């Protein structure tokens, strides 16, 4: 039982001590003036049960002891009835009071333990949510910040080499990535305010083309060949372009990493109309592929196949796609590697489409 103080509770309920005293006096009086064959003292259990609700363990024990003392005193004061029957009734009343006090205290202790466990669980849940949020923010911002550092170093080298044109292009990429990081922070802030996503009629092929410019440096440094097979006359999707671009970017960067150490390093992005009302995007790599267990858990939060991975990228991607009413999944690619698909509900038919 928790260490709550009985006195403050009693003071907050000034009628409670008087009620208990009056009730005990009534039971004592009835037990004394009636015959010994009538076990009125068993009603002291009601006082014990009331006391358990408002007193701590020590207070309840004192109340139970007082009730038992009144029971014995009433036995000696009673003048009518059979003494043997009175002894039996007195013993039954004492046992009833003692057992009630014991069970009530055990129940109260169990309830206190349950409340404490619930409080700890709530605390753990808050800590877990904070950890997930921190990991999510770190994951989302790592990519544009890393690109800013990369392009900053490139700009410095171009300037040292006396090539201001290339340095200017690197500076433009720095500005672009900084704006992207700023937009991510704004979206995260909107997310905490439960703000709705900024859905527009989205040309998926155009979005993929814009995303490829963000990863071309990474692909070149990793010697990965990026290819696209984009369907023409795709319908448009009603979606948030920043969030969908995050998904595409995450899948492409994962695919580039998956080809590390392989002789053939190909990443292919494919779009298709899929079923009526659907747009399907596929990112396929020629890497090591995923086992059956990995395919089952690859979208779980904090599950990662990379030694230094956070295990949040695909979990976030799934959350984004499902929030748009879509679906994301993975399967083995042929002849090797892994293929990640996601589909978005189609909106209005767009006029733009391309085959590259």
> Which pLDDT tens digit goes with each residue over 147-175?
888 888 888 888 888 888 888 888 888 88
Which region, left, alpha or beta, applies to residue 310 given φ > 0 means left and ψ of -120 to 50 means alpha? alpha
| Cβ-proximal residues to 333 (8 Å cutoff; 6+ apart), any chain | 284, 285, 286, 289, 339
User: For the residues 305-324, what does the mean pLDDT come to?
Assistant: 77
Pairwise CA distance, residues 193 & 187, whole Å:
10
pLDDT at 69 over 80: yes
* Whole-number pLDDT of residue 136: 65
Whole-number pLDDT of residue 130: 60
Distance in angstroms between the alpha carbons of the first and the last residue of the chain: 72
- State the burial class of residue 206 (Cβ atoms within 10 Å of its Cβ: 0-12, 13-18, 19+): middle
Return the pLDDT at 2.
40
Supply the DSSP symbol for 41: G
* Banded pLDDT at 85 (limits 50, 70, 90): confident
| pLDDT value of position 204 | 92
Q: What is the pLDDT of residue 50?
A: 86
Half-sphere exposure of 301 (CA within 13 A, CB side): 10
State residue 122's pLDDT score: 56
Q: Is residue 274 very low, low, confident or very high in pLDDT (cuts 50, 70, 90)?
A: confident
For residue 120, the model assigns a pLDDT of: 65
Q: Which of 96-105, 127-136, 237-246 has the lowest mean pLDDT?
A: 127-136
In this prediction, residue 31 has a pLDDT band, given cuts at 50, 70 and 90, of confident
| Model confidence band, residue 343 (pLDDT cutoffs 50, 70, 90) | very high
> pTM for the whole thing?
0.49
Residues pairing with 280 in the sheet: 272, 343
Q: Are 266 and 224 in contact (CB under 8 A)?
A: yes
- Residue 196 has phi, psi (to 5 degrees) of -70, 150
Lowest-pLDDT range, 3-12, 261-270, 287-296? Answer: 3-12
Residue 124 has pLDDT above 80, yes or no: no
pLDDT, residue 308, reads 61
pLDDT value at residue 10: 47
């Amino acid at each position: 039982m928790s260490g709550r103080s009985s006195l403050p509770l009693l003071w907050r309920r000034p009628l409670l001590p008087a009620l208990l005293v009056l009730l005990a006096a009534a039971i004592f009086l009835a037990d004394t003036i009636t015959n010994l064959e009538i076990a009125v003292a068993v009603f002291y259990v009601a006082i014990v049960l009331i006391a358990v609700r408002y007193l701590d363990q020590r207070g309840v024990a004192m109340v139970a002891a007082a009730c038992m003392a009144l029971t014995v005193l009433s036995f000696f004061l009673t003048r009518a009835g059979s003494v043997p029957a009175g002894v039996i009734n007195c013993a039954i009343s004492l046992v009833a009071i003692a057992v009630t006090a014991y069970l009530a205290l055990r129940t109260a202790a169990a309830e206190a333990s349950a409340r404490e466990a619930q409080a700890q669980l709530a605390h753990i849940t808050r800590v877990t949510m904070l950890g997930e949020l921190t990991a999510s923010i770190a994951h989302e911002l790592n990519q544009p910040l890393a690109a800013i550092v990369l392009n900053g170093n490139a700009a410095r080298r171009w300037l040292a080499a006396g090539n201001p044109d290339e340095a200017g292009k690197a500076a433009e990429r720095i500005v672009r990535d900084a704006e992207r990081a700023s937009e991510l922070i704004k979206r995260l802030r909107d997310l905490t305010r439960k703000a709705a996503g900024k859905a527009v009629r989205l040309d998926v092929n155009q979005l993929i083309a814009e995303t490829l410019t963000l990863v071309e440096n990474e692909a070149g440094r990793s010697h990965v060949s990026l290819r696209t097979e984009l369907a023409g006359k795709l319908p448009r999707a009603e979606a948030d372009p920043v969030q969908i671009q995050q998904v595409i970017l995450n899948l492409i960067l994962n695919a580039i990493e998956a080809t590390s150490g392989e002789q053939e390093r190909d990443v292919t992005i494919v779009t298709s109309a899929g079923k009526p009302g659907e747009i399907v995007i596929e990112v396929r790599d020629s890497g090591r592929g995923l086992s059956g267990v990995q395919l089952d858990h690859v979208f779980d939060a904090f599950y990662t196949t990379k030694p230094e991975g956070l295990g949040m990228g695909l979990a976030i991607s799934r959350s984004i796609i499902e929030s748009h009413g879509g679906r994301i999944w993975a399967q083995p690619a042929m002849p090797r590697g892994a293929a990640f698909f996601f589909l978005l509900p189609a909106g209005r038919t767009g006029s733009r489409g391309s085959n590259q």
